[in-house]
């Protein structure tokens, strides 16, 4: 028996990728990668000064499904952590919605297809956000981990 589209992890991941690519990469012009290690990215042989990586966490299927992502925000040559703070503020700004009564963003949940237009399945509600303290990598880059938990209705 095939899984309902609302219970598919692939649809969750594609929806999250679409949202962050459109907002962080396309709109904010930030280097964005998915499911990578902590190392600073290189583009055309140049180390990036600021970057965002999204890693996949637990995925719990049910009638109220839950999924977690870790967003790693990193900055190089940032002695006082100001660039990192600005980057984290920008990323977290895309997770809140000041017009929503609960204050959290609802990201469109899509059924993705490889060769036809995606269709909306509903929404992925940002349930909570936990931000780590500032951490330092061996190359003296500073980074923070923003853990975001989503809840969404699904048929399971």
Give me 62's structure tokens. 């049910």
For the chain, 156 residues long, give each residue's pLDDT as a single digit of tens: 689 999 999 999 999 999 999 999 999 999 999 987 655 555 545 577 899 999 999 999 999 999 999 999 999 988 899 999 999 999 999 999 999 999 999 999 999 999 999 999 999 999 999 999 999 988 889 999 999 999 999 998
Q: Which pTM value belongs to this model?
A: 0.91
CATH number of 5-153: 3.30.2000.20
Contact call for residues 110 and 18 (beta carbons, < 8 A): yes
């Amino acid at each position: 028996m095939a899984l309902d589209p609302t219970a598919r992890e692939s649809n969750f991941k594609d929806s999250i990728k679409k949202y962050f690519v459109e907002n962080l990469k396309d709109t904010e012009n930030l280097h964005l990668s998915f499911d990578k290690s902590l190392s600073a990215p290189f583009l055309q042989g140049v180390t990036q000064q600021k970057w965002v990586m999204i890693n996949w966490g637990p995925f719990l299927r049910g009638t109220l499904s839950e999924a977690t992502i870790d967003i790693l925000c990193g900055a190089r040559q940032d002695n006082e952590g100001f660039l990192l703070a600005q980057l984290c503020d920008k990323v977290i700004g895309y997770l809140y919605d000041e017009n929503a009564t609960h204050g959290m963003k609802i990201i469109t949940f899509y059924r993705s297809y490889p060769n036809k237009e995606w269709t909306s399945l509903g929404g992925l509600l940002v349930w909570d956000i936990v931000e780590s303290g500032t951490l330092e990598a061996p190359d003296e880059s500073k980074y923070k981990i923003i853990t975001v938990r989503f809840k969404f209705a699904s048929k399971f």
